[in-house]
Amino acid sequence: MVGANLKAEAMNLMEKRSGIEAEMNVIIERLCQPGGPGLFGNLLDSEGFPRADIDIPAVRADRQRLSELRNDHKDITEKIDQKIEVLHSARLAPITESDKDPGLNAQERVVNLGTSSSFGNPVGGGNNSMDVDVVVSRPFATVDEITDRSPAAEDGLQLGDQIVKFGNVEVGENLLQRLAAEAQINQGRAISLVVMRQGALINLTVTPRYWSGRGLLGCHFRIL
């Protein structure tokens, strides 16, 4: 029952995180629309006066709210990771006779988490929306272009890597836009990545930065 409760708590946190991501997407779209100021664009014109073509108080409010949401997203993601770690530990821990519930079979006692080789694949016998392993390990993009000596290449990213997590970006809507925003916001700072490479999950860090080529990473993501 402890595992089931932890799993329910993790899924509840994931739902809350999805709500945060939805609000972030709305703000990003509003700021990045054609003619908009973007996430970091100057609010002054070439002569140093406030831009007349945008609502500056609204832009500042949006940027402040986006910063708050990013902090909330980071906090809730850390809580999810903690619960997933406990669930994984519970799955691997031996079950004593005193721990067994006669009303549950062995598969139910480990909360249908499957095995460590089941990442990205259905577990058990059906579509279980409560399967945390599958939810948190589903790739959403692949690296289909990468330039030699680019930040992405130097930091260990490889052609064909499938992105499971890119900083605070996981599955959801407007992924390309969110990936670009994540790189821009973290320019010069390391971003934690989880990639699937030849069926294995790998942790990496990449630091978006200026270099001799285009962009901050020097690679292209294709959404799956």
Domain locations in the chain as residue ranges = 2-118, 138-223
The predicted structure's pLDDT at residue 162? 93
pTM of the model: 0.52
Query: Each residue of 54-75: b (16+ CB within 10 Å) or e?
Result: eeeeebeebbeebeebbebbee
Give the residue among 4, 17, 146 at the shortest CA–CA distance from 69: 17
The predicted structure's pLDDT at residue 91? 61
CATH topology for 138-223?
Pdz3 Domain (2.30.42)
The predicted structure's pLDDT at residue 105? 38
Does residue 143 contact residue 164 with C-beta atoms inside 8 Å?
no
Please identify every stretch of the chain with a pLDDT value under 50, giving residue numbers as ranges. Answer: 95-135
Take residue 116 and report the two structure tokens written for it. Answer: 């460590």
The predicted structure's pLDDT at residue 136? 52
Does residue 73 contact residue 21 with C-beta atoms inside 8 Å?
yes
* Vertex 164: Cα angle to 162 and 169 (nearest 5): 125
